[in-house]
């Protein structure tokens, strides 16, 4: 029997959005703890690069093409993963993000927010991000009577940030759905939790956090530093501990319905 609470040897972790910045770092952490990681995404080239990175660090991973906004695509991915691994122990739902059209320009009016942009952000974060993956991989976990689901929400789902209103509302719904599923499946062997990252520079938010030179923090970036007790953005590897803890049944067996905030203290203070 493993003596390390965080040892995931012999387990399969599915990371949707593992081709991205934060999902990739979480996939890396799970692999470092011994899990075989199935990276799901829509771009084979990015998937192959992530698998190579994990292999180079001594971990085990494979890429499975899937569009998590399409149930048929997820069902096909599930079948391929199960044929290869025989089971799924944890699921990280890291597909998500904001859309520039859904961000209110400075000084602009909420009443002008385009409805289509709102829908797109909800489709990405709530439907492709959580709903469909939880339904498809939840079915597998229910039949196994075992599993840990980790939904990636955001601190903006707790405190609505200015301008990114659709994103904040969608992430609030992700936290609520996490709590619903935790209650629904608590006696059926499945734990459902969320991780809410604070500000971590990644592809989709770089233009908001930095000036066009990519190194000087933007006015918004500076505002964030001044409100963050640790005075900096997060680094992607700093999400690894939370995801491994929640994935490990031995380490977090009595933890469900929780939202673990990793934000350098941003949500713990007020002005
Ligand atoms: N960065 C931050 O500061 C921050 C803060 C709080 C929360 N978050 C959340 O953390 C998660 C990861 O964000 P990130 O910053 O790492 O963004 P990212 O680098 O853009 O990664 C998102 C990934 O999601 C995948 N994806 C999007 N739609 C998909 C779909 N329909 N099917 C399958 N995969 C899909 C994309 O993969 P493919 O394009 O390869 O399909 C992409 O690699 C998101 O939920 C985001 O909202 C980020």
The structure's pTM equals: 0.97
Entry field: residues in the chain: 271
Residue 2 in this model has a pLDDT that exceeds 60: no
pLDDT in tens, 225-256: 999 999 999 999 999 999 999 999 999 999 99
Pairing of strands 90-93, 12-16: parallel
Where do the domains of the chain lie? 12-101+111-198+238-260, 205-233
State which ligand 1 atom lies nearest to the alpha carbon of 24: 16
Q: What is the average pLDDT value for the chain, to the nearest integer?
A: 96
The protein residue whose alpha carbon is closest to atom 7 in ligand 1 is 154
Report CA 228 to chain centroid distance, whole Å: 21
Q: Which of 161-166's residues contact partners 24+ apart within 8 Å by CB, and which partners? A: 162/104, 163/103, 163/104, 163/105, 163/106, 164/98, 164/102, 164/103, 164/104, 165/102, 165/104, 165/110, 165/113, 166/98, 166/99, 166/102, 166/113, 166/117, 166/118, 166/121, 166/122
- Mind listing the pLDDT tens digit for each residue in 163-193? 999 999 999 999 999 999 999 999 999 999 9
Write down the pLDDT at residue 1: 52
- In this predicted model, what pLDDT tens digit does every residue of 4-28 receive, in sequence order? 999 999 999 999 999 999 999 999 9
Which of 77, 95, 197 to probe ligand 1 with, by most ligand atoms within 8 A of CB? 95
pLDDT of residue 248: 98
Ligand 1 mutation pick, 14, 15, 16, 23, max ligand atoms within 8 A of CB: 23
Mean pLDDT of the region 32-60:
98
CA of 264 to the centre of ligand 1 (A): 21
pLDDT band at residue 271 using 50, 70 and 90 as cut-offs: confident
Task: Please choose, from the candidates 2, 8, 45, the residue with its C-alpha nearest in 3D space to the C-alpha of residue 29.
Answer: 8
Q: Which atom of ligand 1 is nearest to the CA of 203?
A: 19
Gap between the Cα atoms of 271 and 269, Å rounded: 7
Q: What is the pLDDT of residue 117?
A: 97
What separation, in Å, do the N-terminal and C-terminal C-alpha atoms of the chain show?
Answer: 49
For residue 271, how far is its CA from the centre of ligand 1 (angstroms)?
30
Can you tell me which atom of ligand 1 is nearest the CA of 199? Answer: 3
Ligand 1 site residues, Cβ closer than 6 angstroms: 16-17, 19-23, 40-43, 46, 66-69, 94-97, 124, 128-129, 152, 154, 197, 199-200, 202-205
d(CA 130, CA 180): 12
Q: Which residues are known catalytic residues?
A: 167
Rounded Cα–Cα distance for residues 60 and 128 (Å): 25
Give the residue-averaged pLDDT of 126-134. Answer: 98
Q: Flag whether pLDDT at 68 surpasses 80.
A: yes
Gap from CA of 53 to ligand 1 centroid (Å): 18
CATH class for the domain made up of 12-101+111-198+238-260: alpha beta
Please give the backbone phi and psi of residue 114, each rounded to the nearest 5 degrees, phi first: -65, 135
259-262 β-sheet, strand order: 60-65, 36-41, 12-16, 90-93, 147-152, 190-197, 259-262
Nearest CA to ligand 1 atom 44: 96
99-115 tens-digit pLDDT = 999 999 888 899 999 99
34 CA to centre of ligand 1 in angstroms: 23
Tokens of 27: 């996939």
The per-residue pLDDT for 177 is 98
Atom of ligand 1 nearest to the CA of 46: 40
**What's the 187 CA to ligand 1 centre distance in angstroms?**
30
Residue 3 clears pLDDT 80, i.e. is over it: no
């Amino acid at each position: 029997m493993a003596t390390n609470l965080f040892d995931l040897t012999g387990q399969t972790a599915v990371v949707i959005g593992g081709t991205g910045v934060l999902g990739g770092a979480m996939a890396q952490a799970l692999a470092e703890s011994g899990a075989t990681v199935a990276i799901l995404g829509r771009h084979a080239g990015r998937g192959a690069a992530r698998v190579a990175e994990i292999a180079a660090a001594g971990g085990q991973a494979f890429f499975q093409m899937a569009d998590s906004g399409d149930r048929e695509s997820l069902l096909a991915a599930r079948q391929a993963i199960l044929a290869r691994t025989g089971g799924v122990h944890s699921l990280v739902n890291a597909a998500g993000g904001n859309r520039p059209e859904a961000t209110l320009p400075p000084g602009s009016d909420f009443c002008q927010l385009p409805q289509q942009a709102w829908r797109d952000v909800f489709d990405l974060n709530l439907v492709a991000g959580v709903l469909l993956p939880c339904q498809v991989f939840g079915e597998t976990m229910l039949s196994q009577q075992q599993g840990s689901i980790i939904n990636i929400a955001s601190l903006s789902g707790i405190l609505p940030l200015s301008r990114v209103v659709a994103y904040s509302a969608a992430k609030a719904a992700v936290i609520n759905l996490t709590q619903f599923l935790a209650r629904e499946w608590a006696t059926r062997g499945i734990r459902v939790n969320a991780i809410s990252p604070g500000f971590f520079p990644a592809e989709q938010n770089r233009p908001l956090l930095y000036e066009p030179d990519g190194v000087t923090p933007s006015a918004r970036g500076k505002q964030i530093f001044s409100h963050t007790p640790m005075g900096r953005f997060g680094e992607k590897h700093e999400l690894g501990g939370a995801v491994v803890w929640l994935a490990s049944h031995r380490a977090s067996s009595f933890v469900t319905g929780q939202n673990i905030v990793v934000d350098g203290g941003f949500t713990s203070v007020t002005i």
